[in-house]
Amino acid sequence: MFLGKVLLQRYKIIKAIDGGSFGNTYLAIDMAFPGEPHRVVKHLCPQNDDPENVEIAKRLFKTEAECLAKLGEHDQIPRLFSYFEEDGEFYLVQELIEGHTLTQEFEPGKRWSEAKTVKFLRELLEILAVVHQQDTIHRDLKPANIMRRHQDGKLVLIDFGAVKEILTIEQLEQTSEPGSIGIGTGSYMPHEQALGRPGKYSDIYAVGILGIQALTGLSSLELPQDSESLEQVWNDLKIEANPQLKNVLGRMISYQYKQRFPDAAKALNAFVPTVIATTGDSSNNSIAKKLFLAALGAIGLAGGGFLGWQFLNRPDYAQLETYLQNQAWQQADAETDKLMLQVAGEKSALDADSLNKFPCKSLEKIDELWTSNSDGRLGFSPQEKAYLETGNEFNQYTQSASEAFGDRVKWRSFGVWSLYGDLKFTNIAPPGHLPSPGRVATDKNDLRIREREMLLSRFDACGL
């Protein structure tokens, strides 16, 4: 009997939760942690003990562990605590999410409002954007794998048992691997995924299907499988949805993967104008307008017969805002550097001339996003404070004061300037530690410290 079993001399199994073709899930007590909190334990035990099937199951479990290890710092993805082999069997221990799956909310015959649907799609895409940023795909997005956390009502993306690493090449014919298998749930799975050749665009298809399910109240078996049949569904059910929203959803479930949004970040941009069109009350409308302004420079709703907003000379802060809201600090740091180079019209570094001309509004916007999403701990403002408090003066370089500043924000350790790979991209990063100065365009990944000091001078000159 598995109940009562103690794994790794630490995790005591107390209850069976679920079973699947590749393993069982249990509730366990973590006896080595203060308070003995509950954890989720996944036990690898394929129903089919064929050697090839067992190898597939092992690969999936290992992939899930590797994925959760990378993504577990995200507030809306379960944290990984342990992955181990014991007595020839494999186990994965992760955070227990107290909540309910969206299966309870997607009731057949119950239609969601446009505003509720768009809010759901945006939140789901924000989480998925972080997953895709790590070159990972979920491959089994459906109501049963999305939870509503009771503590705060936020969505949590669970069950990464079908995740698969993607190579850097995004073309469909190059993402396929020998032995790749079509894993997922039929109603939410596009044809290329069924053939064992999924991409980020396959997750986009599933999100589109979920949006259609929410608006129409159809059961999963009644859902349209492509954009051509979708129009008939709108007409048959007399769905009076915003045409822009219909077009976006139609693009998301296109039969041809190249016609869909390539990843969650691009799909997320498309929903900003839709929020404005579908949100009723004035307070929400104000928030929506702010989101819209943040996304004006995005490559948004281009193609597919619907309107696109493209302001080529304006930076797009939407992706940075998404990363920061999700506390994806490393992605936000890289996005900040990318935005600043874009604004300055530089390729790899900012020089004195470009910094002296750097737009104050851009500095203010980036700083506002960082400080507002970190309780004031991260951003240019805390960096400027640390810079002045360590004896520095703007436009007057002193090596000792500069080094004291580096020590304060922890860009120096044991008297040596850190490399980019030494930085801390966590919730406990020291005040002013991020955003980083960015890396030098060499293999050493040195930090562009002097550039940051000149930038703080510009920040002060802007009166920020």
Instruction: Give the residue numbers marked as catalytic.
Output: 140
Residue with tokens 């640390």: 386
- Residue 166: DSSP 8-state: -
- Other C-beta atoms within 10 Å of 462: how many? 16
Q: Determine which helix (DSSP H) or strand (DSSP E) holds 453, and give its type and residue range.
A: helix 449-461
Residue 303 burial class via C-beta count within 10 angstroms: exposed 0-12, middle 13-18, buried 19 and up: exposed
CB-based burial, 21-48: b 16+ in 10 Å, e otherwise: ebbbbbbbbbeeeeeeeebbbbbbbbee
CA distances from 341 to 162, 349, 427, 435 (A): 37, 7, 26, 14
DSSP characters over 434-452: -S---B-SSTT-BB-HHHH
Q: How far apart are CA 48 and CA 442, in angstroms?
A: 50
SS3 86: strand
β partners of residue 137: 164
Q: Determine which helix (DSSP H) or strand (DSSP E) holds 290, and give its type and residue range.
A: helix 282-294
Residues contacting residue 458 through CB under 8 Å, at least 6 positions apart = 355, 356, 358, 360, 363
β partners of residue 100: 148
Q: How far apart are CA 368 and CA 208, in angstroms?
A: 32
Listed residue (142, 257, 268) closest to 198, CA to CA: 257
Q: How far apart are CA 151 and CA 364, in angstroms?
A: 33
> Please, how many CA atoms are within 13 Å of residue 200, restricted to the half-sphere of its CB?
23
Q: How far apart are CA 76 and CA 280, in angstroms?
A: 27
CB of 191 within 8 A of CB of 225? no
SS3 269: helix
- Please state whether beta strands 23-30 and 38-44 pair in parallel, antiparallel, or not at all (unpaired): antiparallel
